[in-house]
Amino acid sequence: MIYKICSKRVSCMTRSLYILAKKSLMVGAFILAGMLVSTQGQDTIKYSNPSWWFGAAAGANFNFYRGSTQQLNSTFMVPAVFHNGNGIGLFAAPLVEFHKPGKMLGFMLQAGYDSRKGKWDQIKTPCNCPADLNTDLNYVTVEPSLRFAPFKSTFYLYAGPRLAFDLGKSFTYSQKTNPDVPEQVAEPDVTGDFSNINKMLLSMQVGAGIDIPLSSELKKTKWMLSPFVSYHPYFGQDPRSIETWNITTVRVGIALKVGSGKVIPKPPKIEEPAKIEVIEPVVKFSLEAPKIIPTAPNVKEIFPLRNYIFFTKGSTQIPDRYVLLRKDQVKNFKEDQLQELEPKKIPGRSERQMIVYHNVINILGNRISKNPTATVKLVGSSALGPQDGRKMAESVKAYLVDIFGIDPSRIAVEGLTKPRIPSEKPGGTRELDLLREGDQRVSIESGSMDILTEFQTGLDGPLRPVDIFAKQEAPVEGNVNFKAEGATEAFTSWTLEIADKNGRIQNFGPFTQEQVNVPVKSILSTPDEADFKVTMVGQSKSGKVVKQDSMLHLDMRTLPVPDELTRFSIIYEFDNADAINVYEQYLVDIIVPKIPKNGKVIVSGYTDIIGEEEHNLKLSLDRANDVKKILETGLQKAGRNDVTFEVHGYGEDPSKAPFDNKLPEERFYNRTVIIDLVPNK
């Protein structure tokens, strides 16, 4: 009975202890979890790598002997010459380094023990006895170096001078017996110090290493292990002032460095900014359509004459696309009748303008003939060299002398590798073949105003322009002008949806500028008169789609023939919007007086196809605005405010470009601003 009672008590006690232990473990687990959460929630302090490091380096010198060694000291000369040898010596030195974390450049200094010990290859003496020579040569070395981490990483390169001061110069010479004379007694080893040892050597070293961190960011004291290898070339490492013994060394070792880091500042806590209501910029959409669409007007074009003759690389002959006359044709040549000639079979939309340009050599010969005091200089530029460029210039001179009968003394020639104003700029990388094609040319230079354009101030400017009378290809006023004022600020881009009464929709765009022109013939295809609903669709910078509607009426039933339109052109060098220094007086004194009273001036800028499309669009508009500004200033000085301006920048748009871009002269003529003077009709 007692046994049963005790048994029950033990069982109850055991159960109570189990429950108590279980509760204790649960409470302990909660306490431990809380401590962990508390510890993890604390901000840890991190330390940067130090700038200054201190430590020690040790390694092995792999020494390679070359040269001649025979006179060991003043009292002992071995019977045969030792040449090559090698050995391994100890290197050990304290070190100091300075390099800021994340920087490429730094400084290193090592100074310590440097062993250049080694053993020469065994030789045979005249008695056919094998002989050995070894040395325990060693120095105190001082090695300052510039440290360079090319990738701002743990890998680094270093280089610098090595100053070595003699510390030990002992040698041991041993000569064995002739193997053919067994009874011969070997001579005792000879030990001593080399004579004529240089007390100090000045050489150099280059090497590489890698830093291996041994400490975490949480430790202020930083340890670093750095394996390294360096190369010590033979020059400057002649141990003695006599004979030719020199040493080349490859050192392989490891350095242990320590430094003290700095606390890395914690980034400031960025509070979430208060939400600000974004107010979308207001865009005002409008359009302006011509009330009467004129027919193609008669155009009097003052066509500029570029003073370049372009050649094919590898040839010094005038290309066959240029018009070359016979002697009997010279007397009938008239530059004001060139537009009556039939175009050659050449690419390009403006073929009649190209006829004028491709007669440039004949125009030059005609002008020199009519002005006996005029002289010219032909400057050939060739990538193949000045001699090739001179031959190009001489071929043009020969034509002028033979066909036009010009005195050779009136025509000078010169050869260059690049023209005075090259298209290819230093550092350029894009479309260099097209730029170099334009630099393969003969430039016409002259100081005569009977040959050059008006007010020309430089030798490399255009020739006097030629008058052309032709029909305009497309009506200059046959455009609908669409304006989205404020679009550059509000939109990433915008488009036009133009719908007729039958529901046919045409889309134009996307555009990024605030004003665009769309030809009437692109909108109105078949009927003479029609109404359209125009919707401007803009994509705001916040992602919102904005739409504005307007009505458009086009009428082509009345087609009066306008008065004659006058056109001028200004030519620019490659990627240049500042040809105004040459043309400013021409614009003010020649063009401004010809602007009709109450008329309109349409200024259109263009570029060739070389370069980025977006850059060329901006460049063409900059050119057009520069011309407009000068014309406006000239009108103000003349007391006129009756003229309206329309400015366009078409960039390299092939549908708007005056010329194709296949030939260098076409690209040069596409670097232009065209100025149309339109009467008020």
- pLDDT tens, 334-391? 876 665 554 444 444 567 788 888 899 999 999 999 888 889 999 999 999 999 999 9
Regarding whether 195 and 123 lie in a shared domain, the answer is yes
* Beta-bridge partner residues of 247: 65
Regarding whether 115 and 248 lie in a shared domain, the answer is yes
pLDDT in the model for residue 60 = 96
pLDDT in the model for residue 428 = 62
Regarding whether 608 and 514 lie in a shared domain, the answer is no
Regarding whether 223 and 326 lie in a shared domain, the answer is no
* DSSP assignment letter at 594: G
pLDDT in the model for residue 575 = 62
Amino acid at 649: G
Q: Is residue 84 part of a domain?
A: yes
pLDDT in the model for residue 73 = 93
Separation between Cα atoms, residue 19 and residue 28, nearest integer Å: 14
Q: Which of 67-76, 131-140, 171-180, 514-523 has the lowest mean pLDDT?
A: 514-523
Q: Are 444 and 463 in contact (CB under 8 A)?
A: yes
pLDDT in the model for residue 393 = 95
Final residue belonging to a domain, choices 555, 581, 611: 555
CA distances, 339 to each of 321, 466, 495, 562 (Å): 16, 10, 41, 22
Q: Is residue 669 part of a domain?
A: yes
Instruction: Tell me: pLDDT of 39 over 90.
Output: no
Separation between Cα atoms, residue 299 and residue 353, nearest integer Å: 13
Residue reference for tokens 């040959």:
451
CA 11, chain centre distance (Å): 89
Give the highest mean pLDDT range of 18-32, 108-122, 438-452, 502-516: 108-122
- Segment 284-334, tens digit of pLDDT: 888 887 765 445 566 777 888 888 999 999 999 999 989 898 988 888 888
Nearest to 24 by CA among 32, 35, 34: 32
Q: Is residue 181 part of a domain?
A: yes
Regarding whether 382 and 338 lie in a shared domain, the answer is yes
Q: What six digits make up the tokens of 666? A: 């076409």
Q: What six digits make up the tokens of 663? A: 């030939």
Regarding whether 205 and 125 lie in a shared domain, the answer is yes
For the segment 16-27, the average pLDDT, to the nearest whole number, is 50
Residue 138: which CATH number? 2.40.160
Residue 255: burial class (beta carbons within 10 Å; 0-12, 13-18, 19+): buried
Q: What six digits make up the tokens of 88? A: 């391994």
Separation between Cα atoms, residue 490 and residue 369, nearest integer Å: 61
Q: Is residue 162 part of a domain?
A: yes
Amino acid at 541: K
Separation between Cα atoms, residue 378 and residue 392, nearest integer Å: 9
Sequence-distant (≥ 6) Cβ neighbours of residue 135 within 8 angstroms = 117, 118, 119, 169, 170, 171, 172, 194
pLDDT in the model for residue 62 = 97
- Segment 98-140, tens digit of pLDDT: 998 888 999 999 999 999 999 999 999 988 899 999 999 999 9
Q: Which of 103-117, 304-318, 463-477, 596-610 has the lowest mean pLDDT?
A: 463-477
Q: Which of 27-36, 143-152, 296-305, 658-667 has the lowest mean pLDDT?
A: 27-36
pLDDT in the model for residue 184 = 82
pTM of the model: 0.48
Regarding whether 577 and 537 lie in a shared domain, the answer is no
> Phi/psi zone of residue 522: left (φ > 0), alpha (ψ -120 to 50 degrees), beta?
alpha
How crowded is residue 32: how many other Cβ atoms within 10 Å of its Cβ? 10
Q: What six digits make up the tokens of 506? A: 């045409």
Nearest to 300 by CA among 563, 561, 564: 564
Regarding whether 203 and 133 lie in a shared domain, the answer is yes
pLDDT in the model for residue 527 = 64
Separation between Cα atoms, residue 249 and residue 229, nearest integer Å: 11
Q: Which domain holds residue 439?
A: 305-462
Separation between Cα atoms, residue 570 and residue 672, nearest integer Å: 5
pLDDT in the model for residue 681 = 65
Nearest to 623 by CA among 660, 583, 662, 588: 583
Sequence-distant (≥ 6) Cβ neighbours of residue 412 within 8 angstroms = 375, 376, 377, 378
Regarding whether 144 and 91 lie in a shared domain, the answer is yes
Separation between Cα atoms, residue 329 and residue 26, nearest integer Å: 116
Q: What six digits make up the tokens of 13? A: 């006690």
Max alpha carbon distance in the chain (Å)?
154
Sequence-distant (≥ 6) Cβ neighbours of residue 9 within 8 angstroms = none
Q: Taking each helix axis as running N to C, give the angle between helix 360-370 and helix 386-404, from 0 to 180 degrees, rounded to the nearest 10.
A: 60
Q: Is residue 271 part of a domain?
A: no
How many Å from the N-terminal Cα to the C-terminal Cα in the chain?
A: 135
The Cβ-side half-sphere exposure at 213, using a 13 Å CA radius, reads 16
Q: Which of 90-104, 392-406, 470-484, 523-537 has the lowest mean pLDDT?
A: 470-484
Q: Is residue 640 part of a domain?
A: yes
- Nearest 5°: phi and psi at 243? 60, -165
Regarding whether 206 and 94 lie in a shared domain, the answer is yes
* Beta-bridge partner residues of 71: 77
- Nearest 5°: phi and psi at 581? -60, -35
Residues of the chain with pLDDT > 90, as a percent, come to 42
- Give me the number of domains the chain comprises: 4
Average pLDDT of every residue of the chain: 83
Q: What six digits make up the tokens of 38? A: 């508390």
Sequence-distant (≥ 6) Cβ neighbours of residue 474 within 8 angstroms = 296, 519, 521
Q: Is residue 29 part of a domain?
A: no
- Segment 149-168, tens digit of pLDDT: 988 888 999 999 999 999 99
pLDDT in the model for residue 460 = 58
Sheet (strand 284-288) strand order: 284-288, 479-485, 515-519
Q: What six digits make up the tokens of 270? A: 């960025």
Q: Are 8 and 16 in contact (CB under 8 A)?
A: no
Final residue belonging to a domain, choices 410, 439, 462: 462
- Segment 618-663, tens digit of pLDDT: 999 998 998 999 999 999 999 999 999 999 999 888 878 888 888 9
Q: Is residue 313 part of a domain?
A: yes
- Nearest 5°: phi and psi at 456? -70, 130
Regarding whether 374 and 490 lie in a shared domain, the answer is no
Nearest to 156 by CA among 223, 98, 104, 214: 104
Final residue belonging to a domain, choices 555, 580, 600: 555
* Residue 552: pLDDT band with limits 50, 70, 90: confident
Three-point CA angle 40, 44, 47, nearest 5°: 155
Nearest to 419 by CA among 400, 394, 444, 399: 444
Taken as a whole, the chain contains a residue count of 681
Residue 392: burial class (beta carbons within 10 Å; 0-12, 13-18, 19+): buried
Q: Which of 185-189, 296-300, 552-556, 676-680 has the lowest mean pLDDT?
A: 296-300
For the segment 247-270, the average pLDDT, to the nearest whole number, is 88
Residue 493: which CATH number? 2.60.40.10
Regarding whether 603 and 497 lie in a shared domain, the answer is no
